[in-house]
Amino acid sequence: MTSSVLCFDIGGTSVRAAKVSADGRAGPVSRFDTPARDREAFLTRLAGICDAEPVRPAAVAISLAGVVNPETGRMIVANIPAIHGTDLSGDLATRLGIPVFVANDADCFAVAEAVSGAGQGHDIVFGIILGTGVGGGLVTDGRLVNARGGFAGEWGHGPVTALRGGTPPVEVPHFACGCGLSGCLDTVAGARGIERLHAHLSGEDKSSHAILEDWRAGLPAATRTLDVYLDIIAGPLALTVNITGATIVPAGGGLARDHALVAAIDAAVRPLTLWQFDRPLVVPATSGEEPGLTGAGIIGLQKLSEG
């Protein structure tokens, strides 16, 4: 049997697949449609990809935007109704006859950064996703804290958003969040959040990309939005660093591709942490274009080595 792991990074519309060998290197990436609303078609699609491999992999490892309930093994995943509430790892392992490991995509990102990205050499790595929304994952000694699933690292949720921010301070309401609460960082810190915040402050309906372009150009409305944005997210992120003891915070996702934004977040967070870092703390991710596949592969290889 080969020691490679077949990895899937699964979204609501597409499945990316690649094999990760024992040395941690990922092979070519293939893409398939996601049967998001048909459980049988979903399992058949993944099993078919595995069965088409010329050599049977030792295991399958999956990254997706969902959470495994550590007590039941069942999935909480909104964008793929076909597997919401099901035991995906158990169902697929029964079909394939090999182990199947499932992890949250932000957790996979954090593992990829800890092992092969910006977190190399750090004992505690807190990886953050600044994409459409906000996510995160916590890794210690190269291994995921969420070994069996769960919500560790989800700094984007909880009613913690300040009701005033910026200089001079301005009132900011607690926006309703998709998790059912209000006042979550997810409502203001991701791409949709910046857009929501900018519309509230300026009355302008602009994309996050356009807002950041205006900010880099020094336009007043966008400058004000980013002033408030940085003020709102810096405290909760600094508190997360204090609680976890993380010594590096790699940032990934669409917003984090703007390295000027990442540098501004770093400058806002570092004065608020107990450990006064004399180097960048929040940094751009460096683990490559496919951190979900890379992280899933590393998790799979780690679990195989543990028996």
Each residue of 15-57: pLDDT tens digit?
Answer: 999 998 877 777 899 999 999 999 999 999 999 999 999 999 9
> 3-state DSSP helix/strand/coil percent for the chain, to nearest 5?
35, 20, 40
What is the DSSP pairing of strand 249-252 with strand 124-130? parallel
| Coil, strand or helix at 243 | helix
Tens of pLDDT, residues 63-88: 999 899 999 889 998 899 999 999 99
Report the pLDDT value the prediction gives residue 294, as an integer from 0 to 100: 93
Report the pLDDT value the prediction gives residue 1, as an integer from 0 to 100: 43
Helix axis angle, 220-244 to 208-216, nearest 10° = 100
Looking at domain 5-104+289-305, what is its CATH homologous superfamily? Answer: ATPase, nucleotide binding domain (3.30.420.40)
Tens of pLDDT, residues 235-282: 999 999 999 999 999 999 999 999 999 999 999 999 999 999 999 999
Cβ atoms of 8 and 296 within 8 Å: the answer is yes
Spatial distance between the Cα atoms of 100 and 91, rounded to a whole number of angstroms: 9
Spatial distance between the Cα atoms of 239 and 246, rounded to a whole number of angstroms: 11
Residues, the chain, total?
307
pTM: 0.94
Report the pLDDT value the prediction gives residue 189, as an integer from 0 to 100: 96
Spatial distance between the Cα atoms of 289 and 154, rounded to a whole number of angstroms: 22
Spatial distance between the Cα atoms of 123 and 130, rounded to a whole number of angstroms: 23
Query: Domain map of the chain by residue range?
Result: 5-104+289-305, 118-284
CATH pick for 118-284 out of 3.40.50.300, 3.20.20.70, 3.30.499.10, 3.30.420.40: 3.30.420.40
Is-same-fold flag (5-104+289-305; 118-284)? Answer: yes
Mean pLDDT rounded to a whole number for the chain: 94
Tens of pLDDT, residues 80-137: 999 999 999 999 999 999 999 999 999 999 999 999 999 999 999 999 999 999 999 9
Count Cβ neighbours within 10 Å for each residue of 64-89 and write b for 16 or more, e otherwise.
Answer: bbbbbeeeebbbebeebebbeebbbb
